[in-house]
A and B are shown apart, each in its own frame.
Chain A
Amino acid sequence: MTVQRDSMAAAPAQGRTAYAALVREDRVHRTLYTEQRIFDEEMVKVFGGRSWVYLAHESQLPEPNSFRSVRMGLRPVIVTRDRKGDLHAVFNRCSHRAATLCREESGTAKSFQCPYHGWTFRNTGELVGTPWPRGYGESFDKSEHGLHKVARVESYRGFIFGTLNESAPSVVDWLGPAAGWLDYWIDRAPGGEVIVRSAAHRMGYRGNWKLAYDNAGDGYHPAFSHRSLLEMASRMGDSKDMSYFGVSPDEGAMRTYMLGNGHSVIDQRPNYDGPGSFWANQRPQPGRERFEEKIRAEHGADADRLLDLTIGSQINLSIFPNLLVIGNQIQVIEPLGVDRTQLTWNATTVGGVPPEVNTMRMRTQEDFPAFGEPDDQANFEEVQRGLAAPEAEWILMNRGLDVAGWQQVGPDGVVSSAATDELHMRRYYAAWLDMMSEDTAR
C-alpha cells in the first residue's frame, strides 16, 4: 500500500544555531514554554519526526481487531490489532475530507467507516471502498488513498510505541538502559503480566507539557511541593513514604540515572530495606489492617511480597517525550496546547495474585493523585503564570552542575548523580535540541 506523506509542516525551522541559543548548558529560555510557534514545531518534531512516541499498552487492546483512540502529539491516532493480532497505528483522519473516522475511545472493529461520506478502511489502513464509485474517474486508485500510517509500531513487553521515522532504531535500542528499568517495573508483576484496564485519572493543567517532564525526574521538589502530603501523613505519627526527601536527599543512597535519548530514572529503592518495607512505609489505605491480617494468615512467607505488590515501584522512570512510569501507574503526557496539558495516570492491576491484592493496589493508586499531584500541577500552573514576564528570560537547570563528586559513571557507562541534580533536564534538553534542529520531519 502506498501511504500518504506530508512534507514538513509549514513553519520554518529555526535551525540548530537559533535553538542552541535558547538551550544553554545551565538554562533554557522561557519561550520554550510559551511560544505557540515553538510548540507547533515540537508537535511535528518531538512528537513525530524521528522520535518514538508512547501510544498505548497492549492490555488495552486485548483481542484481535481491538482498537484504541490516542493522540500522537496533536494527531488523532487509532492503535489497532488486525485479525491476526498484529499491531498497527493509523491517523484517525479520513483520507477524503479529513473527518475523524473513529469517535469511540476503544472497542473492536475490523474496519472503520467515515461518518461523513462513508469511505471505509480496514483496521490496517487500506481503503476498502467509497460509496457510488462511478463518481470517480479511471485515474482513481484506491491503493493511493489509504489512511496515513504511523510508519513503525513496536511493543516493548506490552508498551506500544510508534514513530513516523521509517529508519528509526528499534524501540529496544532507543530505550537503551531504560529497558532494564522498565524490566524491573514489569517483572514486579508475577509472570510480567501488567493490565491497564482500571480507569485513569485524566488530570489537566494550564501549563506547558514539559513542566510535567521537568518534574517527573526532579528529586529536589518533594520536600517543598509535597509538604501538605507529608504533613497529612504525620497526622498519626510517622510521615511514611517520601519522608526521605525531606532530610538531605543528596546524602542518602537514592540516585538519579541518565539513560540516554532524554530518558532518566530516580531510584528511591535504596531508602527501603527488604521485603515488606514498601508496604510498611505506605500511607494507610482503606482496608489496610484487615487486608494485611488476611494476607499474612493465608500466605505466610510469601506475604511480604504480596503486600509490596500493592505499593508503587519506588522508581520514577521518565521515557522521553511522553511516558512516565511512576508508582504502579503508567502516566502519559498529552500536550493540548502550548499552555495546556493532560497528564493521564493509567491505573494498573497485575496477574497471578489474589484479587484483594489488586483491590489494595487501587486504594494505593488513589493516594498520590488526590493529595500529591494536585500540588505539583498547581505549581506547574504558577510557573506558567510566572513565565508571562518577558524580561525574566531564563529557567535554570543548573543544580549539580560543576558540583564535585556528584556525577559518577557506572561500570555500564550510565552517568548517575545525587537525586536533586537537575542533570535530567540538561540531558533531555540536549535530546530535544537534536530533534528540533532536524531540517525535516524524517
Chain B
Amino acid sequence: MSSRIPPEYADTSSWSYHVDEQFYAELARQSALLREDWPEAGVTEIVEAQSFLAREARLIDVGRFNDWLEQFTDDCLYWVPVTAGAGDPTVEVSHAFDDRRRLTDRVYWLRTGLAFSQIPASRTRRVIGNVETTVDPVTGERLVRSNVVVHEFRAGVTKTYPGWYGHVLRQTDDGWRIRLKQVNLLDSDQIHENLTLVF
C-alpha cells in the first residue's frame, strides 16, 4: 500500500485517491522500462516468473475472477491500451485502465449475470511464452514480460488475440502481487468485436 493514500481512502476497492500525477509519471517510467533490453535472467528467476504467469492465466481461464482480483495490489493497474506502443493515458483512452476500484467493478460486472455481452460467457485459454524478467532498479519490483495468445470461444465464434504482457510484481507477505499488468494487443487500435473478455 502506498504511503500517499490518506487513511480515509485506504480501501482502494471503494476509493481512488492515489491515481494522481505521480501515479501517471511512475506508470510512464515503468511502461518504458518494460520495453527496454534487459540482461539475461537466471534460470530460477525465469521459472518463478513462468510459474506466477501460469497460475494467473489459469485463474482467468477457469473464471475464478475473485481469486484473480486478489492477485493485485491495492494500488494496482490493469491496463489494456488502445494505442500501439501503449501511448499516453493522460490524453488517450484505453480499452481498460482499471485501478483497484474499477477492476473490482469489472469483476462485479462480469458476475452480475446481467451483462448480455457475456451471456453466454467467454471461454478462454491462453498460452504464454518468451518469458523474460529483471528487477526495477528504482523500486526493486520484479518486471516480467511475455508473449501471449488468448483463444476465446463465445456465442458460436472462436477468436484469437495475440499480444504481449508486461507485469510489474511486488513482493508481499503473501508472495508476489501484481502492481501493474499491461496487456499489449497486436491490433489494439483496430476493430474488435466485444472486448469484454479478461486478458
Residues 3-28 of B, flagged 1 when their CB comes within 8 A of A and 0 if not, give 00000010000111111110110000
- Across the interface, do A286 and B19 meet the contact criterion of CB distance under 8 Å? yes
- When C-beta atoms are compared, the residue in chain B nearest to A294 turns out to be B20
- Per the bound structure, the CA–CA distance linking A428 and B105 in Å amounts to 37
- Shortest C-beta distance, A201 to chain B (Å), equals 7
- Shortest C-beta distance, B99 to chain A (Å), equals 4
Q: Which residues of chain A are near B14, meaning CB under 8 Å?
A: 236
Q: Which residues of chain A are near B183, meaning CB under 8 Å?
A: none
- Shortest C-beta distance, B182 to chain A (Å), equals 15
Knowing A200-B82, A349-B91, the reply to whether A371 touches B109 (Cβ < 8 A) is yes
Knowing A366-B96, A366-B97, the reply to whether A375 touches B117 (Cβ < 8 A) is yes
Residues 30-69 of B, flagged 1 when their CB comes within 8 A of A and 0 if not, give 0000000000000000000000000000000000000000
Q: Which residues of chain B are near A288, meaning CB under 8 Å?
A: 16
- Across the interface, do B93 and A201 meet the contact criterion of CB distance under 8 Å? yes
- Shortest C-beta distance, B194 to chain A (Å), equals 5
Residues 363-376 of A, flagged 1 when their CB comes within 8 A of B and 0 if not, give 10110011100110
Stretch of A96-104, A147-155, A172-180, A226-234 with 4 or more beta carbons under 8 angstroms from chain B? A226-234
- Per the bound structure, the CA–CA distance linking A225 and B192 in Å amounts to 20
The reply to whether the CB of B108 lies closer than 8 angstroms to some CB of chain A is yes
Q: In the complex, which residues 378-393 of chain A have their Cβ closer than 8 Å to any Cβ of chain B?
A: 378-379, 381-382
- Shortest C-beta distance, A359 to chain B (Å), equals 4
Stretch of A109-117, A202-210, A244-252, A399-407 with 4 or more beta carbons under 8 angstroms from chain B? A202-210
- Across the interface, do B190 and A227 meet the contact criterion of CB distance under 8 Å? no
- Across the interface, do A199 and B20 meet the contact criterion of CB distance under 8 Å? no
The reply to whether the CB of A358 lies closer than 8 angstroms to some CB of chain B is yes
- Per the bound structure, the CA–CA distance linking A197 and B91 in Å amounts to 8
**Interface residue ranges, A against B (CB under 8 Å):** 197-206, 225, 227-229, 231-232, 235-236, 283-291, 293-294, 342, 347, 349, 355-356, 358-359, 362-363, 365-366, 369-371, 374-375, 377-379, 381-382
- Interface residue count for B (Cβ, 8 Å)? 47
Q: Which residues of chain A are near B15, meaning CB under 8 Å?
A: 289
- When C-beta atoms are compared, the residue in chain A nearest to B83 turns out to be A199
Total of A-B residue pairs, C-beta within 8 Å:
137
Q: Which of B91, B99, B104, B112 contacts A198 (CB 8 A)?
A: B91
- Across the interface, do B114 and A227 meet the contact criterion of CB distance under 8 Å? yes
- Across the interface, do B93 and A232 meet the contact criterion of CB distance under 8 Å? no
Q: List 30 A-B contacts (CB under 8 A).
A: A200-B82, A202-B190, A202-B192, A227-B114, A228-B112, A232-B112, A286-B19, A286-B97, A286-B99, A286-B101, A286-B102, A287-B17, A287-B99, A288-B16, A289-B17, A290-B16, A291-B20, A293-B17, A294-B20, A356-B21, A358-B91, A359-B24, A362-B92, A366-B94, A369-B95, A370-B95, A374-B115, A374-B117, A377-B194, A381-B155
- When C-beta atoms are compared, the residue in chain A nearest to B105 turns out to be A232
Q: Which residues of chain B are near A358, meaning CB under 8 Å?
A: 90-91
The reply to whether the CB of B89 lies closer than 8 angstroms to some CB of chain A is yes
Knowing A198-B91, A358-B91, the reply to whether A205 touches B97 (Cβ < 8 A) is no
- Per the bound structure, the CA–CA distance linking A291 and B17 in Å amounts to 8
Give the interface centre of A203, A225, A286, A358 by most chain B CB atoms within 10 Å. A286
- Per the bound structure, the CA–CA distance linking A288 and B14 in Å amounts to 11
The reply to whether the CB of B173 lies closer than 8 angstroms to some CB of chain A is no
Q: Which of B96, B101, B115, B155 contacts A228 (CB 8 A)?
A: B115
